[in-house]
Amino acid sequence: MKAATKPVQRPVDARLLAIDADGELRDLPRARLAELFEPGDVLIANDAATLPASLAGVHEPSAAPIEVRLAGRPSLDATDVDRFTAIVFGGGDHRTPTEHRADPPPMRPGDGLRIGPLTATVRRTFAQRRHIEVGFNVPPDAVWSGIAAHGRPIQYAHIVEPLALWDVWTAVAARPVAFEPPSAGFVLDWALLDALRRRGVGFQTLTHAAGLSSTGDPALDALLPFDEAYELPAATVAAIAAAHADRHRVVALGTTVARALEHAASRPGPLRAGPALATQRLGPDSLLRVVDAIVSGTHEAGTSHYELLRAFADDAVLARADRLLEQRGYRTHEFGDSVWIERAADRLQPRSNLNTATLASRFGQRRTTAPFWMPNESRMRKPSRRASTSKSA
């Protein structure tokens, strides 16, 4: 795949590769996204606004220029800004690929940092030189105004022109708690929300502090994603319960939504509203308790985002999808094209309110829903559903 190099959230020629629960692939204009939903389904987006989390500054002991990229904090609480996880580079900017960026000067706990109008202190260091914990030495309101005035959106070398905040905020952006954009949400506009509504599809949000996607250090990248705070509104919990009770699907818009929902569902008892910290990673062996399908950007094998997609579809299916993405010239990265992946039919979880509608049913076949009392094995042996319409692969 080629990198999307223009910061356009909804290019008119955006593509959507849809993978149904049986592993069938369809290549569609992304403008047809709403058609993949059935009445009663609910789409859940991450409404985090993206912070200008790239902060140019100076490491006071060495007087060396640095770039601090804020990457996480313990909660979404507006006053909980005493400690941020951060990745630090030496001088330079986003136009140098992260893997070629200079390391920062050696840093020790207590070192002072000057960051525009803010002063900060290195609170902790870690095994990897680029990884620190940083605290600001001012009250919370001054932290926010300082970041707002001085920060820039984190960006990578594939986009040359500097990003503005409006480039990285989705149409539903609310609390500024994401460190990189929850970019699957770039597909959203208010016309799509209206189209979904007319179709009888629910729309809800959660707020998840999306962290960094790359640090340029393989050892650090292997630790991604870091822990990410999120908050689940009561209305979203209610909408999920209602959808599942009626055997409709819960569709996660982006990997951050899937991570948050599955983290919330992994805790004992029913899904609960409120704040929490997602600490788990989703991969091929993960149970999906809540999310029936995901809409995501395209991701390259080996990244943590791609690992998460392996929770939804088998490797053989993803490999076929990768080949098609390549053949059809799909664009990757945050302003790229999209995929829709239904949880594979053989990964259905023993959930009392199961729904097995697939993309095939969306395109003209009668929907087949296994009764919830059927044993799991029976559902797994259900006849394969094939759409009558032509497939792209």
Partner 1 sequence: MNTLLTLHPPLRVAITGGTSGLGLALVEALHARGAAVAFVARNGATVADVARRFPGSHGIVGDVARKDDTHRIALQVNAHLGGLDLLVNNASSLGPVPLRPLADTACEDLEAALATNLIGPFRLTKALLGALAASARDGRGAVVVNIGSDAAVTPYAGWGAYGASKAALSHLGRIWDEELRVHGVRTIVVDPGDMDTPLHALAVPDADPSTLKRPRDAALELIAAIEAAWPTRFGLWRGHPDTDLPAVERAVGNGAVT
Binding site for partner 1 (CB under 8 A): 39-42, 47, 49, 51-52, 76-78, 141, 144-145, 147-149, 164-166, 169-176, 190, 193-194, 197-205, 207, 233-236, 238-239, 242-243, 248
User: In the bound complex, what is the minimum distance in angstroms from residue 174's beta carbon to partner 1?
Assistant: 4
63 sits in the region (left: phi over 0; alpha: psi -120 to 50; else beta) called left
Give the Cβ contact number of residue 191 at 10 Å.
12
Q: With beta carbons less than 8 A apart as the criterion, state whether 324 and 339 touch.
A: no
Quick one: CA dihedral 344, 374, 237, 250, positive or negative?
Answer: positive
Q: Give the residue with the Cβ less far from partner 1, 145 or 327.
A: 145
- Rg for the chain, CA atoms, rounded: 21
Quick one: CA dihedral 27, 33, 38, 42, positive or negative?
Answer: positive
User: In the bound complex, what is the minimum distance in angstroms from residue 249's beta carbon to partner 1?
Assistant: 11
User: In the bound complex, what is the minimum distance in angstroms from residue 190's beta carbon to partner 1?
Assistant: 7
Q: Give the residue with the Cβ less far from partner 1, 176 or 297.
A: 176
Q: Which two tokens stand for residue 28?
A: 């569609």
User: In the bound complex, what is the minimum distance in angstroms from residue 81's beta carbon to partner 1?
Assistant: 9
Query: 362 by DSSP, 3-state: which?
Result: helix
Q: Which residues pair with 25 in a beta bridge?
A: 19
Q: Give the residue with the Cβ less far from partner 1, 201 or 293.
A: 201
Q: Give the residue with the Cβ less far from partner 1, 66 or 243.
A: 243
Q: How far is it, in rounded angstroms, from Cα 141 to Cα 53? A: 16
User: In the bound complex, what is the minimum distance in angstroms from residue 98's beta carbon to partner 1?
Assistant: 25
Task: Report the candidate in 351, 336, 193 with the shortest Cα–Cα distance to residue 262.
Answer: 351
Task: Report the candidate in 37, 41, 32 with the shortest Cα–Cα distance to residue 13.
Answer: 32
Query: 145 by DSSP, 3-state: which?
Result: helix
Give the Cβ contact number of residue 114 at 10 Å.
15
Q: How far is it, in rounded angstroms, from Cα 173 to Cα 204? A: 13
Amino acid at 227: D
Q: Give the residue with the Cβ less far from partner 1, 232 or 325.
A: 232
Amino acid at 197: R
Q: Give the residue with the Cβ less far from partner 1, 140 or 284.
A: 140
User: In the bound complex, what is the minimum distance in angstroms from residue 112's beta carbon to partner 1?
Assistant: 24
User: In the bound complex, what is the minimum distance in angstroms from residue 207's beta carbon to partner 1?
Assistant: 8
Q: How far is it, in rounded angstroms, from Cα 239 to Cα 245? A: 10
Q: Give the residue with the Cβ less far from partner 1, 199 or 320.
A: 199
User: In the bound complex, what is the minimum distance in angstroms from residue 360's beta carbon to partner 1?
Assistant: 22
Quick one: CA dihedral 292, 297, 300, 306, positive or negative?
Answer: negative
Q: Give the residue with the Cβ less far from partner 1, 23 or 153.
A: 153
User: In the bound complex, what is the minimum distance in angstroms from residue 321's beta carbon to partner 1?
Assistant: 28
Residue 115 Cα to chain centre, angstroms: 28
Q: Give the residue with the Cβ less far from partner 1, 200 or 283.
A: 200
User: In the bound complex, what is the minimum distance in angstroms from residue 211's beta carbon to partner 1?
Assistant: 18
Q: Give the residue with the Cβ less far from partner 1, 73 or 379.
A: 73
Q: Which DSSP symbol is given to 152?
A: B
In 185-337, beta strands by DSSP E = 202-208, 228-232, 250-253, 274-278, 293-297, 331-332
